[in-house]
């Protein structure tokens, strides 16, 4: 599995875990259900770190500018950001799926 594809998978998982953690945080406050945050917090933290490290590792290979890299990293800290990044990579000429479809 290539690194860009791995990053896209991690981006989706990180965004999903972020949204689930937000829901779990609301439930913790409103329904006194702390288990969701207890479980999802570390999972999301690990996915967040993987997202950042993969993005920084891919930067030279993908030729991302500083601005592009910062926008990709911003995707890790806003809800739905990982989905947007994945969509951009899917429609970008840098995506392996787009390159192989055009060949």
pTM attached to this predicted model = 0.84
Are the C-beta atoms of residues 84 and 14 closer than 8 Å to each other? no
pLDDT of residue 103: 39
H or E element, residue 55: helix 35-62
- CA-to-CA dists, residue 76 to 6, 28, 93, 101, angstroms: 15, 23, 22, 28
How many other C-beta atoms can be found within 10 angstroms of the C-beta atom of residue 46? 14
Q: What is the pLDDT of residues 72-81, one digit of tens each?
A: 999 999 999 9
Nearest to 88 by CA among 100, 103, 72: 72
């Amino acid at each position: 599995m290539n690194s860009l594809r791995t990053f896209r998978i991690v981006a989706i998982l990180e965004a999903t875990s972020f949204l689930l953690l937000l829901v779990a945080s609301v439930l913790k406050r409103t329904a006194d259900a702390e288990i969701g945050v207890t479980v999802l917090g570390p999972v999301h933290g690990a996915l967040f770190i993987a997202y950042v490290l993969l993005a920084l590792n891919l930067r030279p290979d993908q030729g991302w500018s500083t601005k592009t890299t910062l926008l990709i990293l911003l995707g890790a800290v806003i809800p739905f950001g990982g989905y947007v990044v994945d969509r951009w990579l899917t429609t970008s000429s840098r995506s392996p799926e787009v390159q192989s479809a055009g060949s």
